[in-house]
Structure 1
């Protein structure tokens, strides 16, 4: 199948836009490749430190420099259900590496915070910045320069993007991402959402709400809704960094363990010593980035990736912006209905045919670049297969010929929507994105008076006082990276959802983020420039009429032009956002952060120089 002309055109524009920065990045990668690891050249003291605690056989192999050495970089911790299964992975990987003629060392751990725990709490203001801390932690883990390949163990929201940004700074090293898989299905997502709204209305107790949440989040593995964590897993597969079909296999199962062993063995084979050298810089190129955007759109994935994919691309010297997402969204059909875009969870998506079926449909329509390098070998058609065990051995077979559940996973001829459900909004309030795939058509245009808030808690307080039973657009300002770290405002979803269900026309406009599980309420998010950086959203006053039109792609304040020019911007005190829960330590991150459309990067100067 020939490549779709729009996909080809967008890729060409990205390549042209990125020519200088990509060339600089590849020049640095080549210099590192030529230098190689220093294991055979560094001083005996340095080398002895590198394997002092290794088992005797591993020590001999590293001393002789005859086997490749794999770095394990892991986001394991006990608190995150998605990462708790990773505790077992290093020993599985080390054993598999030895059997494949390699050594694997645990090179470093990276922090892993849970947005589900910090949602609506002060700690959420560290969430976006944690991505770049993870990137820097990955760099520290690999900085010893004694490794020939990397295995990145991570799943959730900022963790996979952070690991990938860090790994791309070592672009000469082959890198395989190793997921843990989703938890088994618990309470249905629609029922969970219903109980949340009932609690918001005061109709169920906190104990009843907690019981429902515990039935939803009940065991090891990733949360089963299609938020940022599971969008990450889709991306790693469609960008060729997982083994085929690895994304959504449940943890602590024979198949999951077999895939983990196979990832280690494959990492050995793609090192320079293994004969199929595939550095990550050759896997992540302009085509892979476009494939990632297409996969995001086709599945109705997390809006957070309109930030993360930008940052990932820049780490590889590639420059993308929201116009690229918007142009591709026009021609990429929505093929998945996973909560919040439907009632199903990722386990049901996987059972319906999953990533293998999805990627075959997209490749068949020319919507993905097939001619890419992957950690599994050349060509993306390899990812139209699914793994299975036969006689205790891991094998792959073609994905299902047709969807096992057409109401969850559609074929390209009968999509749920002709477009990808992600729109760029522009107008006199700046640039923003909106996820329309979960928003009913009758809610995609809202024109109403603004109610202005500078804190999400103020919105909830007004709701509890009964002041929001009307048509309105909630403007929540000073929520950008430089103001307070750009927290997600998912805590607002139940209250706004209640009002919408009661028949009111409501919407949200903010320079902050919503959850990766952004739902049924229309939300113009990531408004850029942010208010603290001179963004026009800071000029809005309560009572101003705003029109949010997701069909036309506009976000406009209907204010007299002369009055608009004369309005002064009053910046509220942000002092309460800068202290407590460790936020004091992130003052420099807030000062350095780029805008949302530039990736919200805290090492912005260095990335801008590279890009």
Structure 2
């Protein structure tokens, strides 16, 4: 085991000791006190199975069968979640074959950042994660279930489902993926058209044609954004079947994996001899494995927020510093757009998660002894599923990459370090994704150009006012300010400036997510402007230095002058698109570095982190 991996895991375990023990005690209490079906009143039980078919009712009355609660994020507007429409029927039929039953316990919202990008609805996106957690808890609160299957795949949905399910961590739970859409227009070509459109060189018709060719069918988007990063992290944490993340929807193998998962979870329920409650599977080792897999694959910066909140739901406190330490010893082993030209289907064909995990485990960079929902432990996850005569068979994953331009080796990585860094300085703390940023662009020192929204930048760009070295500062985009929307409307404009030869960077208390690209972006700045963070004191012309190599984020002015500056006023936001309904929730959100959540108190995490550094 790599000594830094051991050290970080031990530090997480030590700082989380009291909170984790409290969680495990509650888990055991819930397991002993929760009314299983045998303890429900006859009226409770009758209500619980009134709509079931007769054979399922008879099975449920026996009390010794496994009843699986299905929580689904199905809707037919979003490509990633549309395949889930038929999953409940597949799951129920597979369970009946074993004398067990399944019920759709509830549904959660599932919104798409791709649809709301640059629109008012994006300000509800991050907030939806905690509401998904709450709706998952509502679904499972009927306590009719011996296990749970979670049907969700995209940005906020997976973290929300896991946070909610961990409150019922005395039950086993597994995720059931739906897979990515087949490859469409190459991602680099899509980016080229976007930049041409930003410069006014092609029209909206050309842009729409390119976007439609990219996002063209059911399944997740094929670039390596938050949705596909979710799948990588879930596998690394042992929460879904190995090799199952990136099998395309609508295939025989995809349906067979769904059936297999449905039947497998009965084998790890409390009615089996191999009980694997979710709250025991998600421990410090699983969390570290998830972080390492994210770093080695150049995954989404959103997980600097989501993993923090997910871990906290299991009584575990992690920090950006933990991620930074692990990133410095975890080599970048995957080149998937925006870190390379390949898409996620190419990654899967090159050996996928099995090849990546094999390489990391063999070099002591993952916890092979971590408990998982399948196999003995995580060391068993270096396999891939095959379909033989309609049945899933497991074969060893490729020991080496089948395409070394997509999946590398520790001995010959694409970068000696992982994709994420923490930045610290007089502006605050931030994170930066460097896996797609060329080394020559990782240090930018230039005057600030300050905006209060991503929309305000477009006019100045088109007027030619940004044709210079500059650090674009976009403030009042944090959790409390407006729900922390992603700011991808900035990406084409900043990319054009960089292509023109200007030194350009972004500093914001907002998000850029998994599609963060070639322009260095110091994001999630904490404290945010709305909480009095000093990012709200930066003025046009201030000299700012973003140094991803040293890990610093500085404004080069006199410290006394900076401290005495008056905070810029927050912009007045419209409350259209339902944003007014979330005003009270926004006010409760914690900082980005503690998970941007209203579900857990921020003080507990900050106190634990502070005591760990003293």
Please say whether Structure 1 and Structure 2 have the same fold, judged by a TM-score greater than 0.5.
yes
Note the C-alpha offset of 1:607.
9.2
More off after superposition, 171-180 vs 27-36? 27-36
The reply to whether residue 459 of structure 1 matches residue 457 of structure 2 is yes
Contact 1:340 1:519 in 2 (8 A): yes
User: What does residue 67 of structure 1 align with?
Assistant: 65
More off after superposition, 36-45 vs 282-291? 36-45
The reply to whether residue 373 of structure 1 matches residue 371 of structure 2 is yes
User: What does residue 439 of structure 1 align with?
Assistant: 437
> Aligned to 2:587, which of 586, 591, 594?
591
Contact 2:163 2:310 in 1 (8 A): yes
Using the size of structure 1 for normalisation, the TM-score is 0.98
Q: Partners in 2 of 1:371 and 1:15 — Cα distance?
A: 16
**Which secondary structure state, in structure 2, belongs to the residue aligned with residue 233 of structure 1?**
helix
> Aligned to 1:178, which of 161, 176, 179?
176
User: What does residue 612 of structure 2 align with?
Assistant: none
Note the C-alpha offset of 1:36.
4.1
Note the C-alpha offset of 1:273.
1.0
**Which secondary structure state, in structure 2, belongs to the residue aligned with residue 232 of structure 1?**
helix
| Pairwise CA RMSD | 1.2
Q: Within 5 A, what are the aligned runs for 1:498-517?
A: 498-517=496-515
User: What does residue 82 of structure 2 align with?
Assistant: 84
User: What does residue 402 of structure 2 align with?
Assistant: 404
Q: Partners in 1 of 2:317 and 2:334 — Cα distance?
A: 28
Note the C-alpha offset of 1:461.
1.5
**Which secondary structure state, in structure 2, belongs to the residue aligned with residue 378 of structure 1?**
coil
Q: Partners in 1 of 2:560 and 2:481 — Cα distance?
A: 28
Q: Within 5 A, what are the aligned runs for 1:126-145?
A: 126-145=124-143
Q: Which runs of 5+ in 1 are unaligned?
A: none
Note the C-alpha offset of 1:112.
0.1
User: What does residue 46 of structure 2 align with?
Assistant: 48
More off after superposition, 187-196 vs 57-66? 57-66
Q: Within 5 A, what are the aligned runs for 1:350-365?
A: 350-365=348-363
> Aligned to 1:603, which of 579, 587, 599?
599
Q: Within 5 A, what are the aligned runs for 1:102-113?
A: 102-113=100-111
Contact 1:37 1:148 in 2 (8 A): no
**Which secondary structure state, in structure 1, belongs to the residue aligned with residue 515 of structure 2?**
coil
Contact 2:590 2:602 in 1 (8 A): no
User: What does residue 475 of structure 1 align with?
Assistant: 473
Q: Partners in 2 of 1:304 and 1:282 — Cα distance?
A: 25
User: What does residue 306 of structure 1 align with?
Assistant: 304
The reply to whether residue 582 of structure 1 matches residue 578 of structure 2 is yes
Contact 1:532 1:571 in 2 (8 A): no
User: What does residue 288 of structure 1 align with?
Assistant: 286
Contact 2:299 2:419 in 1 (8 A): no
More off after superposition, 564-573 vs 493-502? 564-573
**Which secondary structure state, in structure 1, belongs to the residue aligned with residue 71 of structure 2?**
strand
User: What does residue 262 of structure 2 align with?
Assistant: 264
Q: Partners in 1 of 2:317 and 2:602 — Cα distance?
A: 14
Q: Partners in 2 of 1:538 and 1:283 — Cα distance?
A: 41
**Is the alpha carbon distance of 1:227 and 1:444 closer, same or farther for their aligned partners in structure 2, counting shifts above 3 Å?**
same
Cα offsets for 1:346-393 (capped at 9, x unmatched): 000000000000000000011000111111032112110000111222
Number of equivalent positions: 607
Q: Partners in 2 of 1:226 and 1:167 — Cα distance?
A: 25
Q: Partners in 2 of 1:370 and 1:6 — Cα distance?
A: 16
**Which secondary structure state, in structure 2, belongs to the residue aligned with residue 433 of structure 1?**
strand
Cα offsets for 1:52-79 (capped at 9, x unmatched): 0101111011112121110000000001
User: What does residue 334 of structure 1 align with?
Assistant: 332
Note the C-alpha offset of 1:565.
2.2
Q: Partners in 2 of 1:491 and 1:48 — Cα distance?
A: 52
**Which secondary structure state, in structure 2, belongs to the residue aligned with residue 426 of structure 1?**
strand
Contact 2:452 2:571 in 1 (8 A): no
Note the C-alpha offset of 1:244.
1.0
Cα offsets for 1:169-213 (capped at 9, x unmatched): 001000010000000000000001001101111111100110010
Contact 2:232 2:293 in 1 (8 A): yes
More off after superposition, 273-282 vs 423-432? 273-282
User: What does residue 4 of structure 2 align with?
Assistant: 6
Q: Partners in 2 of 1:25 and 1:479 — Cα distance?
A: 33
Q: Which runs of 5+ in 2 are unaligned?
A: 609-614
Contact 1:314 1:607 in 2 (8 A): no
**Which secondary structure state, in structure 1, belongs to the residue aligned with residue 553 of structure 2?**
strand
Q: Partners in 1 of 2:80 and 2:225 — Cα distance?
A: 13
> Aligned to 1:191, which of 186, 189, 192?
189
Q: Partners in 2 of 1:308 and 1:163 — Cα distance?
A: 11
The reply to whether residue 497 of structure 1 matches residue 489 of structure 2 is no
Cα offsets for 1:507-541 (capped at 9, x unmatched): 00000001311000000000000011011111100
